[in-house]
Structure 1
Amino acid sequence: MSFVPSTFIISLIAFGILYFLLQKYAFGPLFGIMEQRRSHITSEIQTAEQNRKQSEQLLNEQKEAIQAARKDAYDMIEQAKLTSGKQADEIIQLAKAEAARLKEEAIRDIENEKNKAVASLKSQVSAMSVLIASKIIEKQIDEKSQEQLVEHYLKEVGGNQ
């Protein structure tokens, strides 16, 4: 192999022309397409990252909303328990007060009826006493007859009670 300077120069010029043409018509558009592809992939990665962050944020918001709903439900249940307990206590207190009122009323009625019965008995006893006295005065009887008459009237008074 021998070195021929003219062939070397022609090869060098041919290589330069080929490089120029490739640079102008092939490498430029190819590198442009590759750059577009790289920027497209980069933007897709950024979009995916933003979507992932938004998804995480929405997931956290939903978790917080669920926790808040659970807390609200728990608070409502506790409030309902307290309210029902208070209402039950109020109903029991009202029932006790009503029972006490009815008992006092019944005791007053019994006392009134007792007083009426005692008054009636007193009037009957006094009427009987007057009747016995008048009978004794009318009949001047002996002691034995008088005792029998008193016992008879006492039995009669005892039977009327």
Structure 2
Amino acid sequence: MEALGINATVFAQMINFILLLIFLRLVVWKPLINLIDQRQKHIENSVTAAEEERKKAEELRASYMADMQRAKEEAQKIIAEATKSGEAQAQEIITAAKKEAERIKENAAADIQREKEKAVAELREQVASLAVLVAGKVVSKSITDDIQHSMVQEFIKEAGDLPC
């Protein structure tokens, strides 16, 4: 065998190698395959769970987006109602202010009219006093009917020209 280049050492190494392969096949191979199968199942389960979580997260995001849209629409509705209410309230305040201004204006006009009438009454009283005074002076002097008539006419004309 030495002629072929095979010596006992090589032959022993080949037998040791074959025995090692058989030993590895019987002792190590099955647990290693089981470990690889378990790891593969664990990875598949993790991928499946991650996909389910992604779907749940997508559904949750869609739900939150729908809720946000509803909240936004509701907020816009509330703002529109508040604006409308504010405008109505402003219109009521303006109307009330106009009514109050009209009432004050009417009261002022009535006060002015009363003061005017009061001034006219005082003026007439003064005119009457002056007329009595003039009449007393006229009586003290002897006047003819024509002079007295012209004086009364002149007095009435002057009293009529006074601002009332």
- Distance in 2 between the 1:43 and 1:115 partners? 106
Higher relative contact order (Cα pairs below 8 Å, separated by 6+ residues): 2
What residue is the counterpart of 2:4 in the other structure?
none
- Trace 1:97-108 onto structure 2 (pairs within 5 A): 97-108=99-110
Per-residue deviation, residues 28-73 of structure 1 (Å, max 9, x unmatched): 2353134213312321221222221222133123203321331342
- Distance in 2 between the 1:95 and 1:152 partners? 51
Offset of residue 153 of structure 1: 2.3
What residue is the counterpart of 2:60 in the other structure?
58
Structure 1: any 5+ residue segments left out of the alignment? 1-16
- Trace 1:26-105 onto structure 2 (pairs within 5 A): 27-105=29-107
- Determine helix, strand or coil for the equivalent of 1:118: helix
Offset of residue 152 of structure 1: 3.5
- Distance in 1 between the 2:64 and 2:128 partners? 94
What residue is the counterpart of 1:142 in the other structure?
144
Count of matched residue pairs: 144
Question: What fraction of aligned residue pairs are identical, expressed as a percent?
Answer: 37
TM-score between both structures, scaled by the size of structure 2: 0.67
Structure 2: any 5+ residue segments left out of the alignment? 1-18
Let me know the Cα RMSD of the aligned residues: 3.1
TM-score between both structures, scaled by the size of structure 1: 0.68
What residue is the counterpart of 1:109 in the other structure?
111
Offset of residue 129 of structure 1: 4.0
Do the aligned residues in 2 keep the contact of 1:132 with 1:150 (CA within 8 Å)? no
Do the aligned residues in 2 keep the contact of 1:125 with 1:157 (CA within 8 Å)? yes
Offset of residue 160 of structure 1: 4.7
